[in-house]
Amino acid sequence: MKEGYKEWFGKTIELTGEAAIRWLEGAVSEGYSAPADYLPGGGPNLFGRTPKYAVASKLDFVAGLGATGLRAAAFLPADALASQAGQLSTLSRQHSSLVVHMTTQAWNASAFDQTAGHSSFAALAGTGAFQLLATNAQEALDFAIISHKIAELALIPGVNAMDIWPTAVEPQAIDCPTKEMLIQFLGSSDDQIACPTPAQEMLFGKKRRRVPNWFNLDFPALNGARKDEPAISLESAAQQRYFYHHLPAIVAQVMGEYSRLAGRDYAPVMAYRAEDADYLVLTMGAAFASAKAAVDYLRSQEKARVGCLNLSLFRPFPAEMLAGLLDGK
């Protein structure tokens, strides 16, 4: 991407979802990996650091950078990420704050299709990572920003997904955040922040580095030791209770903060004309736009009381919020 991308802050630009992610990571991250034509341009980020880039379809490079206290992200196609679900599970157990951006594609018995489908996204549900799915390019950018903050507060990796068509490849008008907003909302990776959960206070004390440096030679500690099956089971159980348990509250907090800053409302479940609806259509991803158009048509032409709900958050599954919106429908 050309150096001119730095002039996009605070402007409305026609971008694909993929290009918007690339622009953002060049501005806020210290490490990023992606296929060759997905890499950002050069130069320092907003915090004065020059990011490290790698042409890769694996998580190894950015996982290593993230473990040393750097804000890191990767952009992977569905087939590349699906083959690394095991590594994503390991990163969850190791409290990585890595963010992985992906395009969703249909997954049949023999191969991945170049069409939108959520089977590849759903296949990651058991990895322990949180999962967001955008409905358009603006959301893909906003969810990327939100994902970094959630991951760095919860110490759980995140998957920020978008449908390959139209979100990832079709240019759409996007309101780019200002420099000041990104710096205020995300902060630097080496900022000292208050630990948001009791479990983190037990590990770090009252405060910790925003992105912990797990391989600090001044404070050596064992991380990623080889474990047998019983030990992994116990570790996973502890992860659920002491880390994943706090994730829904952190997601709601971060989405609320970002909504107030950006002026665009986000929630784990987005509702459209659902208050008085007798029937609700449930969607994920880019289908939300088509569903909203169908709702408007049915209400105006057929006088049908129809609404729509969209799952923005897939994991942790927002069961309580969804049940409340479905109550009486």
pLDDT at residue 199 above 80? Answer: yes
On whether both 210 and 234 belong to a single domain, the answer is yes
> Are 99 and 156 contacting, i.e. CB atoms less than 8 angstroms apart?
no
Whether 133 shows a pLDDT value over 90: the answer reads: yes
- pLDDT by residue (tens digit) across 264-306? 999 999 999 999 999 999 999 999 999 999 999 999 999 999 9
Tokens matching residue 74 = 């990767």
Q: Are residues 208 and 258 in the same domain?
A: yes
CA 152/CA 195 separation, integer angstroms: 11
pLDDT, the chain, mean: 92
Residue 146: inside a domain = yes
DSSP class of 167: I
Lowest mean pLDDT among 132-136, 182-186, 325-329: 325-329
CA torsion angle 140 26 152 323 (round to 10): 0
30 and 91 part of one domain: yes
Judge if 37 and 173 occupy the same domain.
yes
> Is the same domain home to 222 and 296?
no
pLDDT band at 116; cut points 50, 70, 90: low
Please tell me the predicted confidence (pLDDT) of residue 275. Answer: 95
In the block, tokens 């912990």 appear at: 212
| Shared-domain flag, residues 184 and 282 | no
For residue 120, being part of any structural domain is answered with yes
- Do 188 and 130 fall into the same domain? yes
Q: For residue 328, tell me if it sits in a domain.
A: no
Residue 327 lies in a domain: no
Same domain? For 191 and 301 the reply is no
Q: Is residue 44 part of a domain?
A: yes
Residue 98: inside a domain: yes
Residues 208 and 257 in one domain: yes
* Pairing of the two strands 72-77 and 99-104: parallel
Over residues 169-194, the mean pLDDT reads 98
CB atoms within 10 A of CB 156: 25
Range of the domain at 213: 1-266
Q: Cβ of 294: how many Cβ atoms within 10 Å? A: 14
Q: Which residue has the higher pLDDT, 256 or 81?
A: 256
Q: Residue 109 — pLDDT band, cuts 50, 70, 90? A: very low
Is 2 inside a domain boundary?
A: yes
pLDDT for the residue numbered 80: 86
CATH number, position 116: 3.40.50.970
Verify that 145 and 282 share a domain, yes or no: no
Q: Are residues 156 and 290 in the same domain?
A: no
Report pTM.
Answer: 0.95
Statement to judge: residues 248 and 286 lie in one domain: no
- Quick check: is 317 in a domain? no
> Total structural domains in the chain?
2
Determine what percent of the chain is predicted with pLDDT higher than 70: 94
